[in-house]
Amino acid sequence: MKIYIDGKFHGERDAKVSVFDHGLLYGDGVFEGIRIYHGRVFKLKEHVERVFHSARAILLEIPMTPSELIQATIATCRANKLRDGYIRLVITRGIGSLGLNPRSCKKASVIIIADKIQLYPPEYYQRGLDLITVPTTRNLHNSVNPAIKSLNYLNNILAKIEANNAGVEEAIMLNAQGYVAECTGDNIFMVSKGALLTPPLAAGALYGITRGTVMELAEQAGIKVAEPNLTRYDFFCADECFITGSAAEIVPVVKIDGRVIGDGKPGPLTLKLTEQYHALTKVSGEPIN
């Protein structure tokens, strides 16, 4: 495997960062997860735009233009001869002192990893996931804003630990007002009376690239899409439910906190949107070669 670090490729064993990098010391940085399908990088421009927005929000200056970052990402895929896989794009604050002050970091570091990924076993896509609601609350907007896809993911990790302890793969996180925000690493949707509903960004949901793609596909198919505040009760009473993410894609949900969703099987709209999504990934994206 060839890993891109600050303009150079390194073998997996030689790819290293300094112990003084503030991304390691303090989680000071941003990242993106991006998919490769059929020799094309899916939604690459959108992911690069989002990482620049995240960086701007934390006053992190990326030492490349968006165009240069896109080309470096494609070059990394090409160096690893990937046609299908996953890209982890990481921007750290860079090397600095042991103090918190980001001014001690002279230049940000850019790391690009391209490899294979399988987030969930195939059977979960066929029969659906069980979810629980966890006690850990989604970050407040006036703390670490959920819109920032930062390297400081401890909030989500704590929620994932609670899911693991309960014997499930994924969990629902509520915001401070008690409304559903998102899952630990994915956005969440429900279907009610033929309409597709998902928590609004203001509730603490990440501006998911896959989330936006699914909403566009639904609207193109004439399905009503809305973003109201949603409670656990709303999801308990839903006809269908699924989660979305770049790594996860679209995964059906069949049970939440012990309550069976719909008939306990992946729903027809979920399956339809999954089919449309997979069809889109075959023809869309930035070509690697």
| C-alpha to C-alpha distance for 74 and 23, rounded to whole angstroms | 24
Of the candidates 173, 167, 130, 168, which has an alpha carbon nearest to the alpha carbon of residue 154?
173
Q: Would you call 5 exposed, middle or buried from its count of C-beta atoms within 10 A (0-12, 13-18, 19+)?
A: middle
What phi, psi does 104 have (nearest 5°)? -75, -10
Which of 16, 149, 272, 282 is an active site residue? 149
Q: Which of 181, 232, 225 is nearest to 207 (CA)?
A: 181
Is 107 a known active-site residue?
A: no
Structure token pair of residue 275: 């089919």
Torsion angle, alpha carbons of 118, 123, 128, 134, to 10: -50
DSSP letter assigned to residue 277: H
Say how far apart CA 167 and CA 161 lie, in whole Å: 10
Q: What is the dihedral of CA 60, 247, 179, 275, to 10 degrees?
A: 130
**Catalytic positions:** 149
